[in-house]
Amino acid sequence: MPETLTITDNRTGKTYEVPIKDGTIRATDLRQIKFDELDFGLMTYDPAFMNTAACRSSITFIDGDRGILEYRGIPIEQLAEKSTYLETAYLLLNGELPTQSQLDEWTFNVTHHTILNEKLKLVLDAFRYNAHPMGKFISMISALGTMYPEAKNIFDYDNRQKQIQRIVAKVITIAAFGYRHMVGMPYAYPDNDLSYSENFLNMIFKTTETKYKPHPALAKALDVLLILHADHEQNCSTSTMRVVGSSHVDPYSALAAAAAALYGPLHGGANEEVIRMLTEIGSKDNVPAFIKKVKAGEGVKLMGFGHRVYKNYDPRAKIIKQVAYEVFEVTGKNPLLDIALELERIALEDEYFVKRKLYPNVDFYSGLIYQAMKFPMDMFPVLFAIGRTSGWLAQWQEMLLDADQKISRPRQIFTGSPRRDYKPISQR
Ligand code: ACO
């Protein structure tokens, strides 16, 4: 079977043959299709990249119809059950699970890079008391990058690994300091005896005790949530990381941009919106009326439902739902759970949602867990950003080393005015 596509341009009657590779044609192969000599050549119009592969990637595989998610070939369910966040981060960044000595070295390096330059506390002090922690996170990542001017040497392997270790290590400190600043508590410093997730909980919740030891079930739950959020191929924030990184800026600046993309309510901000929605619904009895409003298309969406890629139950949501029950064993049940379960039950039976293949996504239950663990809502996207940091860095590194990649620069279809003369203000 020839792996080609034959295209006839009915404007000119000419026929072209373009190669098909991996079920894809190269958009630039269409440029030879011209109406006349002056024509720029045929382009594709694909707002929001609904059907455009912008890279080749060997990091994360998603089958949205079957609800499959794999990191480097390993199913997310196995990683959630058997791995740790740092091991998974290593897998994403390096392509293989680490040996014991590799894991020890990686864990040691991350653990020993968690301290922030004290000057960065002054950046936090510049924020108002009620500044959103995600805004602080984004700014702090950018400010952190200025501490390491050598980070711009992105094609130097050792230098790149050093920055990757630093970023993975310091995002938990930045996130925790942002939280402590928000609630007016003194900063708690990292404790190298603790695991990555334990250390984060230590910096968030430690008060006067000399040694903070989080509840193992809560530390485990957080670690699983970080694993589930670690990568999700070419989503909005990861594409941002790649696009900004394609200008060859340092990874801190690219990561700040990626975090900004994540902040939006249609992306990582959705878990926060889910809690707001459940609180507003208020009780199980109000669920049918709310669903009616959503279906009426009055601009109300069922937050935590639907996904650009998954047209089946998001496999992460399944795991998170299970984790939620484990966390509630320790914290007591989140009273919003009953409303969430009722929403899910009704939506999964309702023709509107069934027809559109709208299922719970990763954000539907994660907020309930974070809230039960006593994280304020504003912190939810920050927690997402911590987990996604390893994925952003893995994708950034892959992009840098990909010979096919250049600076990202989409085309446009110009719809503005044809050339015209400037009119003096008196004549307008
Ligand atoms: N509630 C109600 N209707 C919805 C929802 C929803 N959550 N999501 C999609 N729809 C409807 C749309 O109105 C549209 O209906 P129509 O065909 O009658 O116009 C149809 O389903 C298709 O939806 P699109 O908006 O075309 O789907 P798209 O792929 O562009 O959007 C998105 C995906 C942004 C996630 C969307 O489902 C949404 O807004 N969900 C709520 C926000 C959310 O939970 N975001 C988190 C995503 S996961 C993540 O980022 C980690």
Compute the distance between CA of residue 328 and CA of residue 337 in angstroms, rounded to an integer. Answer: 10
- What is the model's pLDDT at position 272? 85
Question: What's the structural domain count of the chain?
Answer: 3
Residue closest by Cα to atom 43 of ligand 1: 304
Q: What does each C-alpha distance from 383 to 116, 204, 366, 389 come to in angstroms? A: 18, 12, 10, 10
Residue 382 lies in a domain: no
Residue 414 lies in a domain: no
Residue 398 lies in a domain: no
Residues touching ligand 1 (Cβ under 6 Å) are 266-267, 270, 294, 301-308, 356, 358, 361-363
Question: Which segments of 216-269 does DSSP mark as H helices, in order?
Answer: 216-229, 236-245, 251-262
Q: What DSSP letter does each residue of 105-136 carry, written as one string?
A: HHHHHHHTT-PPPTTHHHHHHTS-TT--HHHH
Tell me: do 258 and 292 sit in the same domain: no
Residue 365 lies in a domain: yes
Tell me: do 25 and 74 sit in the same domain: no
pTM listed for this prediction: 0.94
What CATH number did the domain enclosing 207 receive?
Answer: 1.10.580.10
- What is the model's pLDDT at position 11? 97
Tell me: do 247 and 141 sit in the same domain: yes
Select from 372, 392, 407 the last residue of a domain: 372
Residue closest by Cα to atom 17 of ligand 1: 356
Burial class (CB in 10 A: 0-12, 13-18, 19+), 201: buried
What is the token pair recorded at 307? Answer: 């996904």
Rounded to the nearest whole angstrom, what is the distance from the C-alpha of residue 306 to the centroid of ligand 1?
A: 5
Q: Which atom in ligand 1 lies closest to the alpha carbon of residue 306?
A: 37
- What is the model's pLDDT at position 427? 97
Residue 353: its H or E element? helix 351-355
**β-bridge mates for residue 15, sequence order:** 8
Q: Which atom in ligand 1 lies closest to the alpha carbon of residue 356?
A: 21
Tell me: do 71 and 201 sit in the same domain: yes
Rounded to the nearest whole angstrom, what is the distance from the C-alpha of residue 259 to the centroid of ligand 1?
A: 21
Give the sheet arrangement for strand 74-75, strand by strand. 60-63, 68-71, 74-75
Tell me: do 69 and 122 sit in the same domain: yes
Tell me: do 246 and 283 sit in the same domain: no
Q: In the 8-state DSSP scheme, what is residue 241?
A: H
- What is the model's pLDDT at position 414? 96
Residue closest by Cα to atom 31 of ligand 1: 308
**β-bridge mates for residue 360, sequence order:** 305
- What is the model's pLDDT at position 107? 98
Q: Which atom in ligand 1 lies closest to the alpha carbon of residue 274?
A: 44
Compute the distance between CA of residue 59 and CA of residue 93 in angstroms, rounded to an integer. Answer: 8
Give the domain range for residue 331.
270-372
What is the token pair recorded at 21? Answer: 């590779």
Task: Give tens-digit pLDDT for 209-233.
Answer: 999 999 999 999 999 999 999 999 9
Q: Which residues in the chain show pLDDT less than 50?
A: none
Tell me: do 256 and 352 sit in the same domain: no
Residue 393 lies in a domain: no
Tell me: do 174 and 236 sit in the same domain: yes
Q: What share of the chain is helix, strand, coil (3-state, %, to 5)?
A: 55, 5, 40
Tell me: do 203 and 290 sit in the same domain: no
Residue 389 lies in a domain: no
- What is the model's pLDDT at position 228? 97
- What is the model's pLDDT at position 209? 94
Residue 174 lies in a domain: yes
- What is the model's pLDDT at position 232? 96
What is the token pair recorded at 259? Answer: 């975090």
Compute the distance between CA of residue 294 and CA of residue 286 in angstroms, rounded to an integer. Answer: 13
Select from 248, 263, 278 the last residue of a domain: 263
Pocket-testing residue among 231, 238, 266, ligand 1, by greatest number of atoms within 8 A of Cβ: 266
User: So which residues are the catalytic ones?
Assistant: 267, 307, 363
Select from 263, 295, 323 the last residue of a domain: 263
- What is the model's pLDDT at position 270? 85
Tell me: do 101 and 231 sit in the same domain: yes
Torsion angle defined by CA atoms of residues 43, 45, 48 and 50, in that order, rounded to the nearest 10 degrees: -90
- What is the model's pLDDT at position 298? 80
CB 230 within 8 A of CB 206: no
Tell me: do 176 and 243 sit in the same domain: yes
